Chain A
């Protein structure tokens, strides 16, 4: 099992450019999440998905869009990148919701994005 993988690992964008981050998991997990991590801020939830074809907003969704067309993949899009989106992005997945169940969230290795 590869677990949770993320591509790319690093990316530099110019303001206004667009890009898509890909998250893939091979554990047949139902729930997937996108977080951003900024120094001193911990992890903040951007969007999440409770199953194929569904998405929902998290704490900081503005400027991002997501899609979950296949159960194993969760895409995060930036339509018009801004310097405030410079961050490390983590994807995670869990079999059942962490909230009211006991399942662990499994994290990918992260994507380091710089927007100039």
Chain B
């Protein structure tokens, strides 16, 4: 069975600081991994995904994530936070027909 654990329900960073959102997964098969972002009062939209190939995946808005099989991790990073990055971020792992989502991490960006 597949599962996802996001460490930290809230993360606060200063504008310009590094953003690091942590995600660990469990999967009985080679995983497909996703990060989605949800802005207030909106649906989720895809930031990036890992399927096969290069383990460092670049997404939209300057985000990237690295798949580390040995650590069963897929952490999301951005070198310099912007105020517009304030949102909730969800890590997800694929199952047979759908995605298993983590509980989410709310990112706050301080001026």
CA of A107 to CA of B23 in the docked complex: distance in angstroms? 21
Closest residue of chain A to B95 (Cβ to Cβ) is A99
Q: Interface 1/0s, chain B 95-106, versus A by CB < 8 A?
A: 111110111100
A45 to chain B: which residues have CB within 8 Å? 98
- Asked if B45 contacts A107 (CB within 8 A), the reply is yes
Interface size class of B (residues with CB under 8 A): 20 to 34
A58 interface hit (Cβ, 8 Å): yes
19 A-B contacts (beta carbon < 8 Å)? A4-B43, A31-B97, A40-B9, A40-B103, A40-B104, A42-B101, A50-B97, A90-B44, A92-B43, A97-B98, A98-B94, A99-B94, A99-B95, A99-B97, A99-B99, A102-B49, A107-B43, A107-B44, A109-B43
Count A-side interface residues using an 8 Å CB cutoff: 26
Number of cross-chain contacts by CB at 8 Å: 67
- Asked if A99 contacts B42 (CB within 8 A), the reply is no
Minimum CB–CB distance for B77 against chain A, Å? 21
CA of A110 to CA of B40 in the docked complex: distance in angstroms? 11
Q: Other than A58-B98, A110-B43, give 13 A-B pairs with Cβ distance below 8 A.
A: A43-B44, A45-B98, A56-B97, A90-B43, A92-B43, A98-B94, A98-B99, A99-B94, A105-B44, A105-B46, A105-B99, A108-B43, A109-B42
